[in-house]
Each structure stands twice: as C-alpha cells, then as structure tokens.
Structure 1
Amino acid sequence: MFKRNWSLFLINILLSFIFFFISADEYTLLHYINMVFYICFLYVIIFLIQYTMKGGFFDGITFGFRRFHHKLFNKNDYMEEWRDKPLPSEKIQPSVYHMIIFQSISLILVLILLLGLYYFVL
C-alpha cells in the first residue's frame, strides 16, 4: 500500500506537468502552481465527500428515500429487500479512503512548498 501511494503521487505530479505543458500560455512557476492546485482541489473535494459519507450523514436520507419508494410503489411486496441494501457509509472502502487522504495531504504539501518557493525565493 505504501508503494502504491507513492507511485500514484508520482503519477499525479507527472499528470500536473502534462496538463501544465498542454494548457499553459507561458511556462512560469505560477501556472504550474495553478495546475497543482487544480489536481489538489479535486482530491480534497473527493476526500470531503467521502468523509461526509463515512460519518453517516447520508444514511438517514438514503434510508428514508428507500422506505418511501418501497411504500409508494411496492404495495404487494412483503420481502422488504430495501432494508438489506448497504447504506452509503458502508460502501466506503478504507483502502481507497486512506489513499485519497494521502494524496490530498501530499499534494497540499507540494503546493505549500511551491508557493513558498514562488513568494520567498523567486
């Protein structure tokens, strides 16, 4: 798992370089910092969504909608299979969750390092 996280981190850095060379009008450190921010922002958003789901915020809403749908459309079905379906908090895989946390933190650290380089050295 440790090796997979670092290889994915290097893929993210390579991906930021590729997007930087494709989309930048001029090749400056500021444009590269922006590209790293976009990728980092994507990971942070995914992390926050997973964190909210893992905490069980959507479980009550999902359970209520499943029950409402069952009562409204399946009047003759007494199996109640909707109770056995997994809730959103049960669908979060710990390995993916920890990988997203690692990528978010490492890209934030790279972003802080690049911003420090841009503002204090250059």
Structure 2
Amino acid sequence: MFGKGHFILLMINLVITLVLFLASDEQSLLTLINSFFYVAFFYFVAALLLFVIKGRVLDGITRSFRRFGKMMSKGLLDFEENGDPSQWVNRSFLRYLQFQAAVLIGLMLILLAIFYLI
C-alpha cells in the first residue's frame, strides 16, 4: 500500500523531530511532544489545504476570476490555459502528505497518553 519512499520520508521526519528536540533548552517528554507537533502540524496543514483544493472548492471562484480578468483585458489575455486548481493536485502526493501527518500525529498522541499516565 505504501512504498519505501513513505518510510524513508518518515525516518527523515523523525530525525528532524529529534534535532528539534535536542536543539531545545530543556529535554523532557513534553519538549519531545512539542517537537512532534511542530513537524506534524506542517504536514497536517499542507494536506488539509491540498484536500480542499482537490475537492473542487476553489474551481468556481477561480473560473469567475478568470472570466472577469478576460473581460477587463478585453480578451487580450487567455487565462484558461492553466486549468482548474483541482487538476493541479496530484492524488498520490496528497496521500503521501496524509500518511506522514497521520503517523506523526499518532506518535504524538501516544506520547501524550504516556505523559498524562505518568
């Protein structure tokens, strides 16, 4: 289901999290949880933004802005050449980001459970 690239990027993300953890002033479980949050938040927001774009929410708005721009330029410029924003998003890249976000958030939640149980 998920290829070797997913796990290589996951290991890179874990190294980035470890670097953030070790670069902090205080090394504690809470700092590790915060480091996971910083990395996971980036993936979550990026995946959420691409999910909204892929869901064709912005296609109508983009189409109307292009029509308005074409009308204002009196047909001199062609704004239709780029396609709809939903066509720009690659579905496999979106799944890639969702996988990274889900794993990092899952690890963060496990660490939060350990933090509150101790």
Instruction: State the TM-score, normalized to the length of structure 2.
Output: 0.91
| In structure 2, distance between residues paired with 1:95 and 1:59 | 20
Distance verdict in 2 for CA 1:40–1:76, change over 3 Å: closer
Output aligned runs, 1:74-89, within 5 Å.
75=74, 77=76, 81-89=78-86
Output aligned runs, 1:1-122, within 5 Å.
2-22=3-23, 24-73=24-73, 75=74, 77=76, 81-120=78-117, 122=118
Structure 2: gaps spanning 5 or more residues: none
| In structure 1, distance between residues paired with 2:64 and 2:56 | 13
Corresponding residue SS for 2:79: helix
Structure 1: gaps spanning 5 or more residues: none
After TM superposition, which residue ranges in structure 1, 4 or more long, deviate above 3 angstroms? none
| In structure 1, distance between residues paired with 2:112 and 2:102 | 15
Superposition deviation, residue 113 in structure 1: 1.2
Corresponding residue SS for 1:81: coil
How many pairs were matched up? 117
Superposition deviation, residue 76 in structure 1: 5.0
Instruction: State the TM-score, normalized to the length of structure 1.
Output: 0.89
Q: Identity of aligned pairs, percent?
A: 32
